[in-house]
Amino acid sequence: MKNPFKYLIPAYYTALNGQITVNGTILPVYDGMVAPNGAASYILIGERTSSQQQAKCGFLTECFVLIDIVLKGSNYGFKAADDAANQVLSIINSDDNPVPTSGIQVVTTSVQSINNLSSLNSTEQVFRQLIRFRNVVSQI
């Protein structure tokens, strides 16, 4: 059995990198963590979990990937976070599965949850939208 995230995460990165724009700014995409000198607003490919499913022909795995949209600053709000989430959902959805270059095939994609978080204080405003995708993948 192969580790599906080795192939799935680069597919997410390729699909989203350079594609999401908020208030005229392209949001960079990071895998796992943001560099110390990274952008204030960004998309993070975060938490990922998987479990093997019973299949008679080959390996089938259920994979969950969390996409964390982070918008910092007074130029943003829930509307901007919702706009970024709409763009992500137009790229990755049940009609447009992530496409790994090799190793696995994404059989189906669905949204497990969407959550809004905010952290408002006098020094910094942070708006976040968390989208948890569920992918069923088959090893090739």
The string of pLDDT tens digits covering residues 18-58 is 999 999 999 999 998 998 898 889 999 999 999 887 766 67
pLDDT, position 122: 67
The string of pLDDT tens digits covering residues 73-112 is 888 888 999 999 999 999 999 999 999 988 889 999 999 9
pLDDT, position 6: 93
**CA dist., res. 130 & res. 140, Å (int):** 30
Q: Where are the beta strands (DSSP E) in the chain?
A: 21-22, 25-26, 29-31, 42-53, 60-72, 104-120, 125-139
